[in-house]
């Protein structure tokens, strides 16, 4: 299964499913759909709903 990346349109920060975000208790391999709905960008505070899928 292919992993995807999601980008914050405000600051360009990337959430990569393959890497997860262990410092925020999001394990490696966590799919975007499984990231909590109230999660926000660690750089800009932008909400998850505003992120855009990108091809990396």
Which helix (H) or strand (E) is 14 found in, with range? strand 14-16
Q: Which fold has domain 1-39?
A: Rubrerythrin, domain 2 (2.20.28)
Predicted pLDDT of residue 55: 82
Distance (Å, whole) CA 32 – CA 3 = 9
Distance CA 45, CA 29 (A): 22
**Tens-digit pLDDT profile for the chain (56 aa)?**
799 999 999 999 999 999 999 999 999 999 999 999 999 999 999 999 999 999 86
20: helix, coil or strand?
coil
Q: Are 10 and 51 in contact (CB under 8 A)?
A: no
Look at residue 1 in the predicted model and tell me its pLDDT: 73
pTM, whole model, 2 decimals? Answer: 0.91
At 46 the pLDDT is 98
Give residue limits of the domains in the chain.
Answer: 1-39
> Would you say 52 and 41 are in contact if contact means Cβ atoms under 8 Å apart?
no
């Amino acid at each position: 299964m292919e992993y995807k990346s999601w980008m914050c349109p405000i600051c360009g920060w990337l959430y990569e499913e393959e890497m997860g975000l262990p410092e925020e208790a999001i394990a490696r391999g966590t799919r975007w759909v499984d990231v909590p709905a109230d999660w926000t960008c660690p750089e800009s505070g932008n909400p998850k709903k505003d992120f855009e899928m990108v091809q990396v």
